[in-house]
Amino acid sequence: MEMTGARVVVECLLEQGVDTVFGYPGGTILNIYDELYKYQDRITHYLTSHEQGAAHAADGYARSTGKVGVCLATSGPGATNLTTGIATAYMDSSPVVFICCNVGQKLLGKDTFQEVDITGVAMPITKSTYLVRDVNKLADTIRTAFGLARSGRPGPVLIDITKDVTAALVDYAPLPREEHRKNGMLGKLISRARTSSLLMPEPDQQDIDILAEMIRDSEKPMLICGGGVTRSRAHMEFREFARKIDAPVAITLMGGGAMDGADPLATGMIGMHGSQASNRGVAGCDLLIAVGCRFSDRVALKPDTFAPQAKIVHIDIDRAEINKNVQTDHHIIGNAKDVLRKLNEQIPQYNHTEWKRYVFSFPTETKYDDDVNGAMTPKQILSTIAEMLPKDTTVATDVGEHQMWAIQHFHFSYPGQLLTSGGYGTMGFGLGAAIGAQAGNPEKTVIHITGDGSFRMNCNELATEEHYKLPIITFIFNNGVLGMVHQWQKLMYGQRYSQTILDRGPDFVKLAEAYGLKGTRVTCVEELRSAIEDAKQERKAGRGYVIDCAVATEEMVRPMVNGGTNITEFLLN
């Protein structure tokens, strides 16, 4: 069937089962938007306030649903406005396909209006980029991009299409997604891409046998649950594995929800703001098994002294991660779900009561005082939220102190429940991610936890939330400062608070009202309870809500270990 390249793009989206996209139009991508207009009954498009918001929304959609997210943008500033969102998805292994359109081929390389080499810009922060200059290659490129985004270690892929290709005519033959691998086309194209983590490596049985022997010889095993468990939806296999070897489990930022935070084996977060139980358990174990964990500088703060008494085993889908940050004694390359399933089939039940008693003699959660001058503690706010909202509430956070508090005090119970920027630490991620999560999971309660600094970054997406009747509840931890940076200045920079005092607008309640939403400021638990009840009523009517929560400036995230020091050298307890 003959059709334009623009229609090929839309038909290929339908091939992939796409029914939701996020984006912002412009001149070079108008042909695609014109086709989308004709497909409104099959593909829902969410127009955000800014391309960065669209990128985060597509990312949040992908993380919360397990599907590939899709984001559209025009050339030049439209494309470059995506880059923060692309990098965020890349660092956290989130599968998103970004589709941009560039100027016509004859205008490339001539400093044409709104021209940019976005494939070059995005190359370091994607699994692969493609510039399509031949309409005959368009369909296969889109199919490859989706296969690549979801294959192996997931991640973002960018396609840039010249405008003349979207207007050109081509014979298009539909190819259902299930046929893509059968005809060998996808594998051949993926094999030419530039990343090492494309296809699903089969775990080596000998490597699994070696680990089974190491487990047999261990008296003090410890597990780290990383983001790879979340991405592969290997949570049930991981929990079975933890129970079978009877080992305490430390959870990384990205591993939240893969191991139920309320599980008796869970020791809480590990690393710079990890619990004493997690950090001391890693320091004292004789076998450390990290699953889907990158050993980043926020986990292994001083790599050469990390888990000093342990044999370290790393299970990861991406060979490039092995021995990158921490030297291991053994590793297994493979999808976490496959590796854990094989391990569970062959290891017996173990019992490590004495070792667990030691680890859990240390606190798994920080305790905060209840009375702070005219403000609430983080624990009070989060406990109230958890008590009053459904247990399966999806939580999107921004980055800063509020992020750490949320992860410390919420007990996430399933993959995709926590949406947060771990590797890239993107302030402004949360509201866009919440929009994507609510769009992809309309039946669920979705909340956005942010700080007064982060919320300023992308609060313009309240317009998107209101227009599409996405009933997201935003909780602002308002302490009047850029909290995490301010905390570092207090502890390590002689209390020289350079440019971290937020003694300025806006009034967040009035801001919410300007966007057509209700908002309120609360200073105590009773007011917070009343506000949440009001927000729940607004949700029933399809309206979002903003709750500005007063938090004392002097509140800090505890525990804290300084970067570059041993994991048990707590600067704050």
Question: What CATH number does residue 225 fall under?
Answer: 3.40.50.1220
Same domain, 450 and 315: no
Residue 352 has pLDDT above 60, yes or no: yes
Give the residue from 515, 520, 523, 522 showing the smallest Cα distance to 537: 520
Same domain, 178 and 316: no
Q: What is the DSSP string of 305-321?
A: GSSTTSEEEEEES-GGG
**Contact indicator for 427, 457 with CB cutoff of 8 Å:** yes
Assigned domain for 141 exists: yes
**The pLDDT value given to residue 187:** 59
**The pLDDT value given to residue 184:** 54
**Which of 170-179, 222-231, 457-466 is the least confident region?**
170-179
Choosing from 127, 163, 220, 342, the catalytic residue is 163
Which residues share a beta bridge with 289? 223, 313
Token reading at 288: 């450390």
Compute the distance between CA of residue 21 and CA of residue 308 in angstroms, rounded to an integer: 47
Residue 490: active-site member: no
Res. 197 pLDDT band, cuts 50 70 90: very low
Only one residue has tokens 């607008």, namely 505
Exposure b/e, 356-393, CB count within 10 A at least 16 = b: bebbeebbbbbebeeebeebbbbbbbbebbeeebeeeb
Assigned domain for 289 exists: yes
**The pLDDT value given to residue 183:** 55
β-strand 418-419 against 330-333: which pairing, if any? unpaired
Question: Which has more confidence, 138 or 371?
Answer: 138
Residue 387: active-site member: no
Which of the 8 DSSP states describes residue 153? S
Choosing from 457, 484, 556, 560, the catalytic residue is 484
pLDDT digits (tens, 9 = 90+) for 497-529: 999 999 999 999 999 999 999 999 999 999 999
Res. 367 pLDDT band, cuts 50 70 90: confident
Assigned domain for 34 exists: yes
Assigned domain for 418 exists: yes
pLDDT digits (tens, 9 = 90+) for 303-322: 999 999 999 999 999 999 99
Torsion angle of C-alpha atoms 33, 38, 40, 41, degrees rounded to 10: -160
Assigned domain for 370 exists: no
Of 359, 392, 427, the residue at which a domain comes to its end is 359
The pLDDT mean for the chain works out to 94
Same domain, 218 and 287: yes
**Contact indicator for 475, 425 with CB cutoff of 8 Å:** no
Compute the distance between CA of residue 214 and CA of residue 221 in angstroms, rounded to an integer: 10
**The pLDDT value given to residue 371:** 57
pLDDT digits (tens, 9 = 90+) for 21-78: 999 999 999 999 999 999 999 999 999 999 999 999 999 999 999 999 999 999 999 9
Of 324, 359, 394, the residue at which a domain comes to its end is 359
**The pLDDT value given to residue 185:** 55
Assigned domain for 385 exists: yes
Same domain, 353 and 395: no
Same domain, 29 and 138: yes
Which residues share a beta bridge with 20? 44
Choosing from 51, 237, 465, 555, the catalytic residue is 51
Res. 178 pLDDT band, cuts 50 70 90: confident
Which of the 8 DSSP states describes residue 545? E
Distances (CA, A) of 321 to 21, 128, 486, 566: 31, 18, 32, 22
Residue 114: active-site member: yes
Assigned domain for 199 exists: no
Residue 213: active-site member: no
> Model's pTM, two decimal places?
0.95
Q: Residue 490: which CATH number?
A: 3.40.50.970
Only one residue has tokens 């000998």, namely 206
Of 359, 388, 417, the residue at which a domain comes to its end is 359
Same domain, 474 and 341: no
Token reading at 31: 């042909």
| pLDDT mean over 342-368 | 95
**The pLDDT value given to residue 26:** 97
Alpha helices, DSSP H, located in 194-335: 205-217, 227-231, 235-245, 276-284
Same domain, 79 and 129: yes
Residue 199 has pLDDT above 70, yes or no: no
Residue 480 has pLDDT above 90, yes or no: yes
Token reading at 497: 């608070």
**Contact indicator for 436, 57 with CB cutoff of 8 Å:** yes
Q: How many domains does the chain have?
A: 3
**Contact indicator for 363, 319 with CB cutoff of 8 Å:** no
Same domain, 401 and 272: no
Compute the distance between CA of residue 481 and CA of residue 566 in angstroms, rounded to an integer: 29
Compute the distance between CA of residue 213 and CA of residue 247 in angstroms, rounded to an integer: 16
Half-sphere exposure of 277 (CA within 13 A, CB side): 26
pLDDT digits (tens, 9 = 90+) for 523-572: 999 999 999 999 999 999 999 999 999 999 999 999 999 999 999 999 98
10 Å CB burial of residue 167 (0-12, 13-18, 19+) is middle
Same domain, 448 and 335: no
Same domain, 345 and 482: no
Res. 179 pLDDT band, cuts 50 70 90: confident
pLDDT digits (tens, 9 = 90+) for 392-447: 999 999 999 999 999 998 899 999 999 999 999 999 999 999 999 999 999 999 99
Distances (CA, A) of 288 to 422, 528, 571: 22, 42, 24
E-strand stretches of 323-364: 330-333
Domain span at residue 138?
2-191
Compute the distance between CA of residue 180 and CA of residue 177 in angstroms, rounded to an integer: 5
Compute the distance between CA of residue 147 and CA of residue 86 in angstroms, rounded to an integer: 17
Contacts of 505 (CB under 8 A, 6+ apart): none
Assigned domain for 568 exists: no
CA 126 to chain CA centroid, Å, is 15
Same domain, 145 and 232: no
pLDDT digits (tens, 9 = 90+) for 74-118: 999 999 999 999 999 999 999 999 999 999 999 999 889 999 999
Compute the distance between CA of residue 100 and CA of residue 372 in angstroms, rounded to an integer: 50
Choosing from 3, 67, 105, 114, the catalytic residue is 114
Res. 372 pLDDT band, cuts 50 70 90: low
**Contact indicator for 150, 16 with CB cutoff of 8 Å:** no
Residue 236: active-site member: no
3-state helix, strand, coil in the chain (%, to 5): 40, 20, 40
Compute the distance between CA of residue 339 and CA of residue 335 in angstroms, rounded to an integer: 6
Same domain, 144 and 229: no
